């Protein structure tokens, strides 16, 4: 049954080195949803300058000049009022301490203020949310290839290794990169109804994974028993 009071204001955070599909996948689903539902999108980062997917982790090829940028609408220091849903993507940029300080501070303030109705994470975005203390005492999952590193970010989270996504009350966390697509469709189905989610997926020709407990990448990356 659809939620009696669905959200209208959705925000996503950006930082240098974010994973593009973590952001673009869920947002494309919400773009389509916005043609039938009244939605507002806010994009937040430390400044209003374009934020690039480029990073200096894992020694990128010295001759590569391949990256994409997204322009924020607001800064962490001046967020818009009334954010109801906050999406936290992952990416190799989550491992850069200097870039994460502002992100974590913002997440702590949003958690303290209590206005966010739903928290959604993709990939290592759950590690960032964990470091902010938002996941304390909650069940959560994350990118399976990075799972050992993610677990090190907080001992106060009940990390679930073999899950495509995990729901603990108002917090939805998903596995690596493409799992954000399965999470967002499941969340849309939970809030606006499965018929709406199914129509968007079929219109996008996306074949959903609808079993939140099944993620073959747990075995692929050897974390099924962690």
What is residue 56's predicted lDDT score, i.e. its pLDDT? 78
With contact defined as beta carbons under 8 Å apart, do 17 and 54 qualify? yes
What is residue 58's predicted lDDT score, i.e. its pLDDT? 73
pLDDT single digits (tens) 172-226: 999 999 999 999 999 999 999 999 999 999 999 999 999 999 999 999 999 976 6
Residue 50 within any structural domain of the chain:
yes
Residue 61 within any structural domain of the chain:
no
From 16, 17, 67, 19, select the one nearest 178 (Cα to Cα): 19
Full domain range(s) for residue 180: 9-55+67-220
Residue 176 within any structural domain of the chain:
yes
Q: What tokens does 145 get?
A: 């290839």
What is residue 226's predicted lDDT score, i.e. its pLDDT? 62
Q: How far apart are CA 193 and CA 206, in angstroms?
A: 17
Regions of the chain short of the pLDDT cut 50: none
Any long-range contacts for 65-69 (C-beta under 8 Å, 24+ apart)?
68/20
C-alpha of 6 from chain center:
19
If one counts the domains in the chain, the total is: 1
Q: What tokens does 203 get?
A: 């219109």
Beta strands in 46-182 (DSSP E): 51-52, 69-70, 74-75, 85-88, 118-121, 139-140, 158-159, 165-168, 171-174
CATH classification of the domain holding 106: 3.40.50.880
Residue 62 within any structural domain of the chain:
no
């Amino acid at each position: 049954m659809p939620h009696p009071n669905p959200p209208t204001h959705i925000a996503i955070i950006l930082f240098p080195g974010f994973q593009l599909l973590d952001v673009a996948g869920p947002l494309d689903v919400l773009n389509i949803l916005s043609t039938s539902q009244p939605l507002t999108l806010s994009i937040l980062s430390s400044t209003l300058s374009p934020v690039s997917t480029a990073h200096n982790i894992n020694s990128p090829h010295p001759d590569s000049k391949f990256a994409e940028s997204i322009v924020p609408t607001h800064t962490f220091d001046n967020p818009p009022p009334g954010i109801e849903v906050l999406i936290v993507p992952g990416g190799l940029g989550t491992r850069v301490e200097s870039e994460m300080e502002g992100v974590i501070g913002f997440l702590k303030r949003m958690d303290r203020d209590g206005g966010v109705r739903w928290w959604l994470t993709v990939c290592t975005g759950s590690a960032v949310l964990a470091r902010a203390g938002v996941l304390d005492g909650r069940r959560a999952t994350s990118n399976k290839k990075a799972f050992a590193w993610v677990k090190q970010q907080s001992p106060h989270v009940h990390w679930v290794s073999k899950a495509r996504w995990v729901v603990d009350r108002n917090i939805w966390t998903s596995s690596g990169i493409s799992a954000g697509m399965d999470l967002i469709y499941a969340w849309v189905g939970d809030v606006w109804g499965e018929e709406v989610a199914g129509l968007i997926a079929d219109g996008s020709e996306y074949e959903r994974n609808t079993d939140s407990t099944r993620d073959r990448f747990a075995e692929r990356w050897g974390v099924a028993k962690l």
